[in-house]
Each structure stands twice: as structure tokens, then as C-alpha cells.
Structure 1
Amino acid sequence: MKVSRIVAFSSSLLLGAVLALTGAGSAQATTTGALAVDYVALGDSYSSGVGAGEYDSASGNCKRSNRAYPKLWAAANAPSSFAFTACSGARTSDVTANQLGPLNSGTDLVSISVGGNDAGFSDVMTTCILQSEANCIARVNQARSFVDTTLPGRLDTVYTGIKAKSPSARVVVLGYPRFYKLSGSCLAGLSEAKRAAINGAADHLNTAVSKRAANHGYVFADVVPAFTGHEICSGAPWLHSLNLVNIGDSYHPTAAGQSGGYLPVFTSKA
């Protein structure tokens, strides 16, 4: 009896060890599988990382930053492949014409931010900085009208193009932050009415982008909550205000905005 008990006990230990090893092997395979992702990052300057510095010289005027959220995510998750085609100044037509090349049927994950340049936000900011409050609000309303009437069709073209090349990919569409903390710490610059109008236009754009993304079965990633408390005129802004030295950085996320704002929001949706 003692011998049989010893044998049974030993068998039990052996079985337990085998199960433990099998479990460990399964866990390792699951982890490896989670990292076996082919990732393509598309979009405009908010995805290329304008304002964050450390630009890849090979990217030229596209100004792809090593501190941009796609690069940070890839560094942290080591995907099987990573293609970074986002480009400063890109409109929807630029994405479809120049950025979709790396997409294929094996692409698992796509990120994109686009629409702000189509809506003319650069011109909106120029108008609001240089002209009257009335002109600023009129230009904002013009942009909002464009978002209502023209932008949805352009977004549809981009999203349909992605679907055609990568029908199984998880596509994460990232929005834009509000620029200003109202009643904040800025003592000069734009009036409160101008800031409120610009924030409202950002919300309007995000709503339109979110609706079109949902219509295509894509995930919308709202960055407004992450940037709340880090807008221009806050105590710890993650956005550049008007930068006369590097004008292109103006109203773009800083490196902290990419790592503290865009990256965790994208990671939560990827």
C-alpha cells in the first residue's frame, strides 16, 4: 500500500508538472500571438508626430517623429511588421493616393487621424489669430459646414480604401483634442469667444469622424478626455500654442501629448 501510494503521489506530481508546463506553454503562445501583429499607421500630422520633435530625417516634409504614438506603440509591443506612412499636412486624398501601399490582406491593425486639414483648420487658426472675432467665428462656421456636407464623403473614400486592401484589419480612428482650456491661465492671445468657437469646431469634427468610422465598423478613439487639463491655457499643456520659431509646431501635440495623450488612448483601443 505504501508503495502504491508513493507511485500515485509521484504520478500526481508528474501530472501537475505536465499541466503546469502545458499551461505555461499556452500562455507563452498566447503572448507571442498577441504580438504577432502587422501594424500600419496612416494619417496626418497628429499621427506623424509634428510638434513632438526627433523627426526621422528620411521622412522629409512628412516629419514622422520617433516620439509619435505609432512609433511608441510599436516600440512597446514589437509587432511582426510596422509601416509608418502618416504625413504632415495630409488630407483624405493624400492618404488614399500615397499612404495605403503597405496595407494588404494580412494587415491586422491600422491607426489613422485625418479630416482636420480637409476642414481647413490651419486657415481657421490663421483667421482667428489675425482677424476680428466676427471673422474668426464666421470662418469656424464655414469649416463646420464643410464637415457637415463634404467631409463625410471624403472619409468614406478613405475608409473604403482601407477596407478593400485590409478587410480583416482592426482600424482605430483617432480624433483631435480641444485646443483651449476655457477660463484658463492665458493672459493674452485669442478672446474667450474665439477659443470657445475653436473648441466647438473640434468637437463637431470629432462627432463627424466618429460617425463615419462607426458606419464602416471601425473603432473611434476619443482623445479629448485624455487632453482635458492639458489644453493650451492650462497649467500643464500638451499642445503647442502659436510658435513663431517653429510655426508648423503650432497647435500640435508636444512629445508629452503623444506619450501621455494619444498613446494610451490608442493602446486601449488597439
Structure 2
Amino acid sequence: MVFHLAPAMVFYCFGIINSWSRLPIFGLSELERSMTPSAAVITIQTRRPNRPGQYANNAADFMASSHLAVLSTCDSIDRLIGVYGAIALDFTWSFELDKHDVTVPSISGSNCTLEWQAPYPGTYAINVHVSSSDSEHIFFRGTTTVRIHDYWVVAIGDSFASGEGNPDQSLLEADHPRWLSERCHRSRRSWPSFVFDKLQRFCRNTPTHFTYLACTGAAVDSGVLGPASDGTVSQLEVVEEIARLRGRGPDLLMMSVGGNDVGYSDILGRLFLGNSKSLFNSIEMRLFYMAHELERLGERLRDLGARQIVIPHYFDISRNERGLIDSNCTDLHLISTPNLRLADRQILRRVNRMITDKAKLFDWTVVDSVPRVFRKGGLCSKESLIRTSHDSLVLQGDTLGAFHPVESAHESIADLVWRKLDFKRLLLT
């Protein structure tokens, strides 16, 4: 990089001229010493890049975006150089990891800015020596310290966590719906994504990475712990691989699980068909299976070592604007109000109680206030917070989004999750 000539060079030339008269007395070695000016001290500015909108959904992407720092001496050198002409400079950067016997390679180049990836987290002493491209004389030197520490947030689970029903771009905005993941109907307009956005702003000086894997249709055995039905590697395998490379688990893991394990879609189908007797006769077995699956998941997550795991209760689709269970609307009219009331009591409440029980067993943070968001906002409410079949068709061209929360409800859920975050535990260094 070419810079204007520094004042140090002026003093350097002055030193040469001033030394000629003393040459016979002091000799050549003294002349050489007088020709070497003192290096001017410069400031190294540091910045940890925090890049919104980027996801680390595999090990390669995570490692490529981790432990980055932007180092710059440009402002300091520009101020010193002024208007003394142009000179090509070389920059040599060296790094030392505090309290570790680790050799970190130095980096040389001609640019006053360097995007550097540290090999390990920790506190580094950083030095830069700046010399002329055609000389070994050091004109500038600078030193600083930078702390390399990143946060890692993960979201896994089913359609409640993926944001089903809320495409990033709907058919009202584009010729086809757009998602973060077409296969999973994963959306930025979801409560995990909103929580991550808030956390990234809160930790604006510390890079915060998001591994967002929640997928519509996922259950513990099919998608979360085991491979998905199409053979895609399980969500937790991806998280575990990143954790091995990182050397520790996530700082925050958010999840929504259990609904597909208890058979949410099948339950709705049986209620629509009026087959309530066989449904309610199978509830005990369904809940037993869900409990087993949550315990399997809990054991694996315990080994993962996440600092905080957050799981919300499931939402309630049954209440109208007066807070009463009501099936008198297009999407629920095939279900009798007594059966809907029984489903609320025998299924939803028991599923949420089980989530609370397993959260206590495995030290998860449960967000049990989610149903209150929907206490007057079910499908038959005039102020519904649940996506209807018609709206799902209009927005995403299918009915998969029906019976899921709308975007504003996801924002409310994100606020509830945010209040449950344990920042003392979450942001440990």
C-alpha cells in the first residue's frame, strides 16, 4: 500500500546529512546507527465483525465465521503521514495468546487493514511493525490486545420453532414463497429468529452465531435425534459436530419438541372426522411415548453441555375473543365444542405439563406463559393469532401453515423467551 511520506522519514534524511561531519570521528557504524530513526507509535483499531443474516448451519460455515477480528492502522498512519509524498509500506502482524504456549503464525502484507481469524478463543497481544517495501527500517510500530470470544445460539425442533405459516416472502410479495429452508419451511419470522436478533443486538460487540435447524414435521426420532424422513442428517448430529470443533456446547439452545411425538396432526385429523373415542382412548399411550422421547433427547442434550436450554409450552388454538373455547368457525366447525374442550383438557394441558416435568428433570428453562398469549386469540377469535387454512393458501400456496401462530404471535413469544434468559449463565466468558 502506498502512503504519503512520514515525518519520521524527514528526520531520517536530516540524520544522514547531519552525520557527514562526524564521519571521520565516529566511523561508519555510528553513521549507520544515526541513520536508523525511532519508530513512531501507531494505534491499532480492532473490531469484531457481527454479521446479521448469516447462519452457521453446518460445521464448515461455523468455523469459517468464528474467531474473526478486523485490525486496522489506517487512521493512525494517515494522520502521521500528512502530505510528505508517497511511499510503499509493508505490514508485519504478530500474535501471542495470553497464558498459552501456542505459536501463532505472523502475517505480512501491504494493506493497513487485516481481517484475521484467531486459531483459538482467548486474549491476544497483537503487534504490528511497518516498514518501507524497499527497506528493513521500521517506521511505525503498534501494539494492542483483543479478546476473542464468540457466542453460539442454536434452535432445533418442529414447525412451532421453524416459523411454519410465516414465509420470509409470501405469495403476496413474490411469485413463490421464500424460506430460509424450502424443505423445512424455516422462517426469519419465527420466535427463535426474533430471539436471536435481539441477542445479536444486545451482544453487538461480540460475534454471535446462529445454527437454525428447526424443521416442519420433525419429531424427536425423525429429524431431531434420528435422521429426517428424507434421510437428512439429524438436527442434533449437526449441533454435536459443531460443538466438537468448537470445544464446548452452545451458549443458548432453543427448542420446540413433543407436538409431533404425541401426534398433533393425527389428533386434529381424528377430531375433524369425529373419531374422538379412539383418540381419547389412545392418549395415555401417546403421552407415554412422548415422555420417553423427551427423556432420550434430554440425555443427549445433557452430554452436549449447552449453558441454557429453553423450551416453550405449546399454544392454544381453541379460544375466541372472549376467552371461551369455541369451534364455531370455518377451520374448526367439524369439531364439536365439547370435544375441543376435552382436547384442551386431556391433550394440550397434559402435553405442556409433561414439558414442564421434563424441563425440571433436565434443567431446561420452560416458558409456560405461551398459552396466555392465545387466551383470546384462537382460530375462532375475531382477533385470531392463529393462521387459518385460507390465509395459509394465500400466503404460501398450501395449507401447511394452518393452525400455526402468525408473525405477531411469534414476536410475543420471543419477548417471553427473552425474559427467561439467564444472562449471567449465558454470557459467561
* Category of TM-score, reference length = shorter chain: 0.7 to 0.9
The letter of the residue matching 2:235 is Q
> How many Å apart are 1:138 and its aligned residue?
3.1
With over 3 angstroms needed to count, the CA separation of the structure-2 counterparts of 1:58 and 1:65, relative to structure 1, is closer
Alpha-carbon shift at residue 102 of structure 1 (Å): 2.5
SS at match of 2:192: helix
Give the superposed CA RMSD.
2.3
Q: Secondary structure at the match of 1:102?
A: helix
Structure 2 unaligned blocks of 5 or more: 1-146, 170-177, 227-233, 422-429
Matched, 1:186 2:339: no
Per-residue CA deviations over 1:157-191 (Å, capped at 9, x if unaligned) read 112112212x1420011120121013548356021
Contact 2:327–2:337 (Cα < 8 Å) also in 1? no
Residues 1:159 and 2:306 aligned together: no
Q: Which letter maps to 1:264?
A: D
TM-score scaled by structure 2? 0.50
The farther-off stretch of 240-249 and 187-196 is: 240-249
Which amino acid is the alignment partner of residue 186 of structure 1? N
Match of 1:49 among 158, 163, 171: 163
Q: Tell me which amino acid in the other structure corresponds to 1:110.
A: L
**Distance in 1 separating the partners of 2:179 and 2:250:** 26
Q: Secondary structure of the equivalent of 2:164?
A: coil
Corresponding residue for residue 278 of structure 2 = 138
State the distance in 2 between where 1:199 and 1:230 align. Answer: 15
| Amino acid across the alignment from 2:225 | T
After TM superposition, list the pairs within 5 Å mapping 1:105-116 onto structure 2: 105-116=248-259
Q: In proportion to residue count, which structure has more strand?
A: 2
Q: Taking structure 1 as reference, are residues 118 and 185 closer, same or farther at Cα in structure 2, changes over 3 Å only? A: closer
What is the correspondence of 1:210-229 to structure 2 with a 5 Å cutoff? 210-222=356-368, 223-229=370-376
Deviations 1:83-140 (A, max 9, x none): 10101000011211311223521411011111111111101111111x22xx224314
Code of the aligned partner of 2:186: R
Matched AA of 1:62: C
Report how many aligned residue pairs link the two structures. 231
In 2 relative to 1, CA 74–187 (structure 1 residues): closer, same or farther, beyond 3 Å? Answer: closer
CA contact (8 A) 2:190 2:410 kept: yes
SS of the residue aligned with 2:183? helix
Larger C-alpha radius of gyration, 1 or 2? 2
Q: Distance in 1 between matches of 2:161 and 2:197?
A: 15
For 1:193 and 1:142, locate their aligned partners in 2 and report how far apart those are by CA, in whole Å.
18
- Deviations for 1:193-252, whole angstroms, at most 9, x for unmatched residues? 121122221111111111011101111112111221112222211112444832211211
Q: 154-163 or 108-117, which moves further after superposition? A: 154-163
Q: Secondary structure at the match of 1:82?
A: strand
Superposed, which structure 2 residues align to 1:7-46 within 5 Å? 37-46=151-160
Equivalent AA in structure 1 for residue 294 of structure 2? L
Q: Which residue of the partner structure matches residue 83 of structure 1?
A: 211
Partner of 2:224: 95
Seen in structure 2, the aligned counterparts of structure 1 residues 128 and 185 have a Cα distance that, compared at 3 Å, is closer
SS at match of 1:186: coil
Q: Are 1:48 and 1:63, in contact at CA under 8 Å, matched by a contact in 2?
A: yes
What does 1:60-71 align with in structure 2 at a 5 Å threshold?
A: 60-71=182-193
Greater RCO, 1 or 2 (C-alpha within 8 Å, sep 6+): 1
Q: SS of 1:54's equivalent?
A: coil
